[in-house]
Amino acid sequence: MSLNQETTTHESELVSDPAPLPQTETLLAPLRNALTHGALLSPSEVIISFAPYLNVLGKTFIPKTDLPDLTGRVILVTGGNTGIGKETVLRLAEHSPSRIYLAARNATKAEAAIQEIKDAVSGAQIEFLEVDLSSCASVKRAAGEFLRKEQRLDILINNAGIMGFTATKTTEGYDIQFGTNHVGHHLLTKLLIPTLLKTAELPELKPKGVRIVNVTSAGHYAAPSGGIVFDDINQEKAHMLTRYGQSKLANILETHELARRYPSITSSAVHPGLILTQLYDASRENIPLVGYWMVVFKGKLFMQSVEQGALNQLWAATSDEVESGVYYNPVGSKAMGSTYAQDGELARKLWDWTEADLAKHGY
């Protein structure tokens, strides 16, 4: 792939799906879900999610001084070409890892981001890894490419995500938000697990060296009744924020199950805060209230910078204080999450369901 070649035609766009069902839920539904699924039980946690600067118990984390030396480490960050992911790659690069794989679906954007980071950090070793998380074939190809090049993987940050999309589908027919945010990352993680486990056996990395960080959201409170609706997984009639909520709840449940299945890997889920990025572009178009908020307040009300947004995942990727299977508000603040987010049985069920469903597609 040449550096300047634009790859904006994603595999998911090549599938001709029947027209999506009309969304019948209004914005009230995800708000009601949030209130009934635990937000009222832990209002302080929810307030901190949206305004981390009010969290007097949150940790101070300064990447320059608090990140350890990463010499010899191999890192993979999905969605590293922009927003919080790009900031994460930049800050990690300043601490001399052996290599960082910046996984993204758009070669032009990825190469521009890599150049920008290399200009800022001389000697930074960053490689583009092409992956479209909305296509299992693309995920499998990307994992294969990584495994051909590397013997180890120290830190996997599943950061990429989309929000506020209408009910379109991935290549395999999953709702675009659930498929990208959960299914694509599940498959990628699963394919990389043997290498993560092998790396965790290196004596210098025991006991907590190898990390999986799943970037979730306080938006998981908006998941539908039942949390994950296995018999109507695409939730086509639900509000787009309900579907986003389901996908982000899946990120937390996946973390619980990773921690249970693979105790030698430290897996955590992090909410980055409310951060001004392109994540809100689709919501601005599709959800009038969000559009109004973004236009009138220009993203300034409650929102923080990408520098702030990267802190929780940088902390989770490196700090000795991280506990496996835990969901953290920024920065390093242990949180319960919604009632569904605390449900270990639901976590097991989601893992088994995802595995079985991927198997139907040959993955």
Which residues would be at the binding site for ligand NAP (CB under 6 A)? 78-79, 81-85, 104-106, 109, 131-134, 159-163, 180, 215, 217, 271-272, 274-275, 277-279
Is residue 244 annotated as part of the catalytic site, yes or no? yes
Which residue among 86, 109, 169, 248 is the active-site one?
248
Alpha carbon dihedral 215, 310, 190, 360, in 10-degree steps, equals 40
Nearer residue to ligand NAP within complex by CB, 132 or 257: 132
- Is residue 199 a contact partner of residue 210, using CB atoms and an 8 Å limit? yes
Closest approach of ligand NAP to the CB of residue 160, in Å: 3
Nearer residue to ligand NAP within complex by CB, 55 or 159: 159
Closest approach of ligand NAP to the CB of residue 313, in Å: 8
Nearer residue to ligand NAP within complex by CB, 211 or 271: 271
In this structure, what DSSP letter does residue 98 have? S
Is residue 262 annotated as part of the catalytic site, yes or no? no
Q: Please, what's the b/e burial string for 102-133 (b: 16 or more CB within 10 A of its CB; e: otherwise)?
A: bbbbbbbbbbbbbeebeeebeebebbbbbbbb
Closest approach of ligand NAP to the CB of residue 361, in Å: 16
Closest approach of ligand NAP to the CB of residue 40, in Å: 20
**If you write DSSP's letter for every residue of 146-196 in order, what string do you get?**
HHHH-S---EEEE-----S--S-B-TTS-BHHHIIIIIIHHHHHHHHHHHH
Q: Please, what's the b/e burial string for 58-92 (b: 16 or more CB within 10 A of its CB; e: otherwise)?
A: bbebebeeebeebeebbbbbbbbbbbbbbbbbbbb
Which residue among 244, 262, 280, 327 is the active-site one?
244
* Catalytic residue set: 244, 248
